[in-house]
Structure 1
Amino acid sequence: MRTKKISLSIISILFLLTGGFIQPQESMDKGVAAAPQSAVINEVAWMGTTGSYNNEWMELSNTTSSDLSLEGWTIEAQDGSPSIALSGSVPAQGYFLLERTSDDTISTVAADQVYTGSLGNSNEVLYLKDASGSVIDEVNSWYAGDNTTKATMERNDRSISGTDPANWSTSTASYEGGFGTPKVANSAVPSGSGSGSESLTNVSEAPGAINVYFNKSASTQYAMQGNEANYNVNLEDRLIERLNEATTSIDFATYEINLPRVVDTLMAKAAQGVDVRILADAKDGSDPHYAERYETMRLYLEKLVRGQDGIVGSADDAHILSDSPMFVVEDAVKRAAYDLPASFSDFPQRNVTVGSTATTGYMFVEGEWKETDSYYSPGNQMHNKFAVVDGKWVFTGSWNFTVTGLYGSEENMNQGILDGNQQHVVEVHSPELASIYKTEFEEMWGSGSTTPNHKVSNFSTRKVDNTPHTLTIGGDTVEVYFSSGDDAVGRMTELVKTEADENAYFTIFAWSDQALVDELKNKWEGSYVDNQGTLTGFDVKGLYDASFWNQWWSASIEMTGRTATQTSTNNPNTRWANPAPVYKANESRKLHAKTMLIDADTNSDPTVIVGSTNWSENGNNVNDENMLIIHDDAITNQFLQEFNARYVNAGGVVQ
């Protein structure tokens, strides 16, 4: 959603006046610059405990992925009490407990340090300073906590300022002294997730609206005026809300699906007479990484094929096609658990070849036809995750419609805890964009009706470039590319080469494309040559998913100046002479986004690249993917807020 935008001349003036960044007001009043938050004041028992009002305690949290020494650090109250010279260290992502006067303040948890000096019950201001005297974190009021129940004030999000009233909650977890969480995750924050209460402040239903949702935190102190990002968002709720608005059609492309509420919503819309068409990826059932999840998905998809009445071929059925055929799960116990009939003879028993494997089973979803009784293998991925609703809304991004993708576990899902992979979603109100996505959908679907034509359908490398790539949405230029066939990563490479002027920031799950990393190298240090170059002033920052940080083919190896353990024609390992400040992500689960920001917060066409496409040979030329390139300063700024939160959490410095 485009909102009011700050004049760049005003931003420039503020930038100069603040020495390169805008400081918290209290820090400016004291003449102390706010340093990057490597640690924060995470919880304060300003009210004491049920044992005594004198039993005050505080907890620090290390936000980085390395142990943090506190030697020379201090906690200082504005009124002088307490004033604590810290010592010791905080484990990576761990906690440091300070108990007042005695280690008996909390008898069941050992203090890391005992201090003296009391906290006031109101109007207290605390500063956490590093060994140089720089303010690392600040708390300027008791925004939460309860003196009656002795419930502590606990931080919701470590990447958001301690001076933000909305970033504090009253603890709901009981412990021996009342309510609090000494040396464990705060009650408002799932362990390792970094998420707190949902913030939805920038949503529009207007034609031309572009709404962006992040399931993790965002650093809204970097927002343009009136442009705070939507963060800690339950993406399932947003998807269901959009699907429920459908009156005529839903085209749904899913790499994987196992969210029962989404399945129930699709079934309900089909029963209401909405045309529900689903493209699904057929995973290799013999792959041990997917076997159980693949069975679960097939059970849910069979429910959709049967509809609410459980009868195949009736009016309330959803319609499904896959890149490779799917066969029913025959296990009687599992079928009963998903309320499926014990008999599945209403589907045809088929003897076919899938890839090069002879397969027999009851086929309930057709796949892309190769020749008589022969289908393509499930080895290539239909990796899209998008929905087109009523031919006017497009819902897309990096989020797979799965339990692990959003919640992390079924237990978390049942409790509404968002501890899944880091994700983003973009939804766009544009009939023109919806028509382009429909064309792509129907190229795979094989027809323009509710009945797919598996003999005409084309997935993967059988597709052609048959859609426009540029359109205007709400006054913004938006580009759209599909894989394979459209060379989406090639367009990214061209964009970096010809249009990036000042900066490029990225969060990426998997990146192996050499041409793209080489263009960024040339921007960074003015050379394409291995281990040569001089810094140009172009700013590069980035994060890689931890699982690919050390892979020999990953761009992370080159950008950090390391030598790969092996090379290939497509990955010659062109090392950067000047290592860039890129990091291994420090998320509780996967960093799953595929996002690059170009010239964010400048007047040089700020642009964000988003979607399902990993920057790799498979992502560009083999899998079925989609990518949006949005030329808009406000949308790019919202992605910058989320990027900064992830970057600081990984140990990066944002100025």
Structure 2
Amino acid sequence: MKKFSSVLPAFILLFSTLYPSFMTSAPTVNAAETTNVVISEIAWMGTTKSYSDEWIELYNNSGTDVVLDGWQLNAADGAPAITLSGTIPANGYFLLEKTDDQSVSNIPADLIYSGSLGNTAEDLKLIDPTGAVIDEVDTWYAGDNTAKATMERIDPNVAGMSSTNWATANASYADGLGTPKAFNSTGTDGSGSVEDPGGGTTTPPPTNNVCNDRTQHINHVSESEGAMNVYFNKCAFPQYASAGNEANYNVNFEDILIKRLNSATKSIDFATYEINLPRVVDTLIQKAAQGVDVRVIADSKDAADPHYAERFETMRLHLEKMVRGQDMKIGTADDIVVFSDSPMFAVEDSAKRTSLGLPASADDIAQVTVTVGTTAETGRLFVNGESKAAGSYFGPGNQMHNKFAIIDDRWVFTGTWNFTVTGLYGSDENMQQGILDGNQNQIVEVNWPQLAGIYETEFNEMWGATALNPDPAVSNFSSRKTDNTTHVIDINGRKVEIYFSAGDNAVGKMADVIRNEAQFNTYFSIFAWSDQAIADELKNKWEGSYNDLEGTLTGFDVKGLFDSDFYNQWWSASVDMSGRTASQTSVNNPNTRWKNPAPVYADAEVRKLHSKTMLIDVDTNSDPTTIVGSTNWSNNGNNVNDENMLIIHDASITNQFVQEFNARYVQAGGTLQ
């Protein structure tokens, strides 16, 4: 209940005189009281940029907006003393940055304040316009000055001064460890499972197969040479973990990528199918300004294709920011070199340009007329592409579908995730609140110079050079590439295979692994699968025959998930496997080929099931193997697009993947045995 200490109406003043026990001498907040606004996170230690870059985050745990006009956030010693204004949205965040809007890179402040926080402790009170203390923090219960890790509230629904409701942040952002304007890395959604500062859970994993936990769990991360870190942006079932091998799940991939990019001291090679995440773009720009060599390959699109038009326009605006660098001037030392499979022209809509911080006009970029494919196009060309001849380029019909980064010739960051808002958050509104309602994805990062060198060879083949600037005449994308990389390496005793498309027959290698190595089970989650060779090998394992509508169950275990958009297409392997009649048919493709339908399902994700992942001989002694990467199992994925695929022979990695697979499978209606 709110208590008033300001000037009171006469009848309340009389009431307090006659019945003093009903009133308090000073407004306080009950430690277990639920309020609509709480102090959610405090960077009392500053950031990696400066100890003076302090910031504070408020959180509105109610379902309605709260107008903060007349509210105050005051320290008991008088500094800071902040008069609040503005609105904090329902279930949203409000970011206060000290001195200027640079305390948190890339995230706009909702309010700028003055006054420093002490490094030992402060007593902060959040006071509403009536004078009631809505929340209070009387000391620093958590946070790390050395690591520049913030103090985060664990349960955002509970206000007050409970030491057990605060923890030290363990997720990275551009300026240290913390989650400005995002779900706290140590927080709980009310399910009762919370992370401790070391990354483990303080409650046991669920014994039932219900996926209702949205808390970020970071359980296994290593920086040592040979480290192989796997992350999932959706929930997982840790009850299926082998001993001490709980997966990293409900993870904000953007934080992981930014942390890895920020570790670069020499070079970043970045291949992206799409990109529109402002924090990632700004991090790349900052690293280039620091003197790191940043090379970016981005896929071009057909600008007239309505399926791509809007998001391709947005990507070009972000890419132009990279090309201009931190000073926004083309041709200076801080510029990022961006290259593509086909040239890109600047967006010239002044309103759209200024909305992203670009100059209103692109007239400092030369206007040219060139041939793209078979069509003459005129525009301000700011991203060069693979050329056929002088003034002539390949068209954008093929996809540079990679999503990988190479950092300091050591770390490889790859997986299924496109570096986009929809790929992680689902919407701009979700991004502002740190809600991970985007596509289902998986990422892998590996610290191994030999692997980095293999990816570097692939990157340089597309780039056309080993230098900072590309060579459009030497560059090769798509089917023009050659098979020029090592395919099998040993990473501290773990066999890892690496295949690139086009040219390496990556999908054929998958079929080989199933035919020659799978002994007990195969589980998969796939966005698009039309390749018949893989399906045939799996059919033979399942029912002992390659022939249509022939076979007897062998005892080999198959479970699978398909993205629901493609589950009922005539070309999808799901139709053959499940014994259904597709909504579309083809003369060259029967409605079903498997005599004994397998337990495969359409996904039940919020957005897309974006996996391209197969698990073989999970939790057995027969070489458990994970296949993951950007490659869809199709002709385009194998023979046309630029793709990368890892085949990881490792029991622990495969067990982490099956924890996430099991959650997706049960969510889609499957049963685990």
**Aligned residue number for residue 651 of structure 1:** 669
Structure 2 CA distance for partners of 1:568 and 1:271, relative to 1, 3 Å: farther
- 1:554-573 to structure 2, matched below 5 A, reads 554-564=572-582, 565-567=584-586, 571=589
Q: Choose the corresponding residue for 2:335, options 312, 317, 320.
A: 317
Matched AA of 2:254: E
Contact 1:476 1:631 in 2 (8 A): yes
Counterpart-to-counterpart distance in 1, 2:655 and 2:358: 47
For residue 501 of structure 2, the aligned residue among 444, 462, 483 is 483
1:610 to 621, 624, 628: 628
Report what 1:58 is aligned to. Answer: none
Contact 1:193–1:587 (Cα < 8 Å) also in 2: no
Partner of 2:235: 217
Comparing 341-350 and 242-251, the one that deviates more = 341-350
Alignment partners' CA distance in 1, 2:341 and 2:473:
11
- Read off the aligned partner of 2:203 and give its amino acid letter: P
* 8 Å Cα contact 2:371-2:393 kept in structure 1: yes
State the partner residue of 2:367.
349
Distance 2:634 2:533 in 1: 10
Letter in 2 for 1:648: V
Flag the structure with more relative contact order, 1 or 2, with Cα contacts below 8 A and sequence separation at least 6.
1
- How far is the alpha carbon of 1:356 from its aligned partner? 2.0
2:321 aligned with 1:303: yes
Deviation (angstroms), 1:372 = 2.7
Q: d(CA) in 2 for partners of 1:308 and 1:147?
A: 40
Change (3 A) 1:597 1:275: same
**What is the aligned counterpart of 2:415 among 385, 397, 405?**
397
Q: State whether residues 325 and 365 of structure 1, in contact with CA within 8 Å, keep that contact through their aligned partners in structure 2.
A: yes
Structure 1 residue 572: Cα displacement = 5.4
Q: Report if aligned partners of 2:192, 2:203 keep a CA contact under 8 Å in 1.
A: no
Q: CA RMSD in A?
A: 2.6
Distance 1:413 1:156, change over 3 A: farther
Partner of 2:266: 248
Aligned 1:235-314 pairs, distance under 5 A: 235-314=253-332
Matches of 1:409 and 1:310 in 2, distance apart? 27
Report the 3-state secondary structure (helix = DSSP H, G, I; strand = E; otherwise coil) of the residue aligned with 1:547.
Answer: coil
Tell me which residue corresponds to 1:379. 397
Alignment of 1:146-545 (within 5 A): 154-155=190-191, 165=203, 196-545=214-563
1:590 maps to which of 586, 608, 611? 608
The one-letter code of the counterpart of 1:155 is: S
Retained in 1: the 8 A contact 2:511–2:533?
yes
The 2-side partners of 1:166 and 1:587 are apart by 25
Cα distance in 2 between the residues matched to 1:597 and 1:505: 5
Q: Secondary structure at the match of 1:516?
A: helix
Counterpart-to-counterpart distance in 2, 1:400 and 1:517: 26
Residue 113 of structure 1: aligned partner: none
Whether contact under 8 Å (2:339, 2:385) holds in the other structure is yes
Structure 1 residues 537-558: Cα deviation after superposition (integer angstroms, max 9, x where no partner): 0000000001001001000000
Deviation at 1:346, TM superposition (A): 2.4
| Equivalent residues of 2:189, 2:213 under 8 A apart | no
Distance 1:218 1:567 in 2: 38
Normalising by structure 1, what TM-score? 0.71
Per the alignment, residue 93 of structure 2 pairs with none
What is the distance in 2 between the residues matched to 1:566 and 1:356? Answer: 34
Aligned length: 488
Who is 1:15 aligned against? none
Equivalent AA in structure 1 for residue 218 of structure 2? L
Q: Which residue of 1 aligns with 2:648?
A: 630
Q: Deviations over 1:151-183 (max 9, x none)?
A: x994379xxxxx983679xxxxxxxxxxxxxxx
CA distance in 2 between partners of 1:215 and 1:463 (Å): 33
Provide the rounded CA distance (Å) in 1 between the counterparts of 2:348 and 2:284: 24
Partner Cα distance (2:156, 2:289) in 1? 47
**Partner of 1:53 in structure 2?**
none
Counterpart code for 2:610: H
CA contact (8 A) 2:346 2:379 kept: yes
Whole-Å Cα distance in 1 between the matches of residues 540 and 626 of structure 2?
A: 20
Query: What is the CA–CA distance in structure 1 between the aligned matches of 2:374 and 2:159, rounded to whole Å?
Result: 70
How does the TM-score come out when normalised to structure 2? 0.70
Alignment check: 8 A CA contact 2:189 2:214 kept: no
TM-superposition CA deviations, 1:469-509 (whole Å, max 9, x none)? 00001210000000000000000001001110000000000
* Contact map agreement 1:195 1:418 (CA 8 A) in 2: no
The answer on whether the counterparts of 2:528 and 2:634 sit within 8 Å (CA) in structure 1 is yes
Percent identity of paired positions between Structure 1 and Structure 2: 67
- After superposition, what is the alpha-carbon deviation per residue over 1:21-53, rounded to whole angstroms, capped at 9, x for unaligned? xxxxxxxxxxxxxxxxxxxxxxxxxx9x99xxx
Q: Residues 164 and 577 from structure 1, CA distance in 2 versus in 1: closer, same or farther, beyond 3 angstroms?
A: farther
What amino acid is aligned across from residue 567 of structure 1 in structure 2?
Answer: S
The whole-number CA distance in structure 2 between the counterparts of 1:319 and 1:466 is: 24
Q: Deviations for 1:102-156, whole angstroms, at most 9, x for unmatched residues?
A: xxxxxxxxxxxxxxxxxxxxxxxxxxxxxxxxxxxxxxxxx999899xxx99437
| Secondary structure, counterpart of 2:353 in structure 1 | helix
Report the Cα distance in structure 2 between the residues aligned to 1:608 and 1:508, rounded to whole angstroms: 13
Letter of the structure 1 residue corresponding to residue 219 of structure 2: T
CA distance in 2, matches of 1:427, 1:204: 10
Report the 3-state secondary structure (helix = DSSP H, G, I; strand = E; otherwise coil) of the residue aligned with 2:565. helix
State the Cα deviation string for residues 248-293 of structure 1 (Å, max 9, x = none). Answer: 0000000000000000000000000000000000111111121111
Distance 2:670 2:523 in 1: 12
Distance 1:265 1:193 in 2: 33
Distance 1:583 1:361, change over 3 A: same
Name the aligned partner's letter for residue 544 of structure 1: F
Could you say what secondary structure the match of 2:469 adopts? Answer: coil
CA distance in 1, matches of 2:299, 2:234: 26
The whole-number CA distance in structure 2 between the counterparts of 1:193 and 1:361 is 50
Contact preservation (8 Å) 1:279, 1:320: yes
User: Is structure 2 residue 659 aligned with structure 1 residue 641?
Assistant: yes
CA distance in structure 2 between the aligned counterparts of 1:270 and 1:577, rounded to whole angstroms? 57
| AA matched with 2:408 | D
Pair 1:226–1:559, CA change in 2 (3 A): same
For 1:199 and 1:549, locate their aligned partners in 2 and report how far apart those are by CA, in whole Å. 31
> Following TM superposition, by how much is the alpha carbon of 1:566 offset from its aligned partner in structure 2, in angstroms?
2.4
Specify the code of the residue in structure 1 equivalent to 2:262: N
**Equivalent residue for 1:550?**
568
Distance 1:361 1:314, change over 3 A: same
Instruction: Give the deviation of 1:355 after TM superposition.
Output: 1.4
Where does 1:39-188 land on structure 2 (aligned, <5 Å)?
A: 154-155=190-191, 165=203
Return closer, same or farther for 1:511/1:497 CA change in 2, 3 Å cut-off: same
Query: 1:530 Cα shift?
Result: 1.0
How far did residue 423 of structure 1 move? 0.3
Say yes or no: does 1:579 pair with 2:597: yes
Give, in angstroms, the shift of residue 342 of structure 1. Answer: 2.6
CA distance in 1, matches of 2:404, 2:516: 30
Residues of 2 paired with 1:307 and 1:227: CA distance?
A: 42
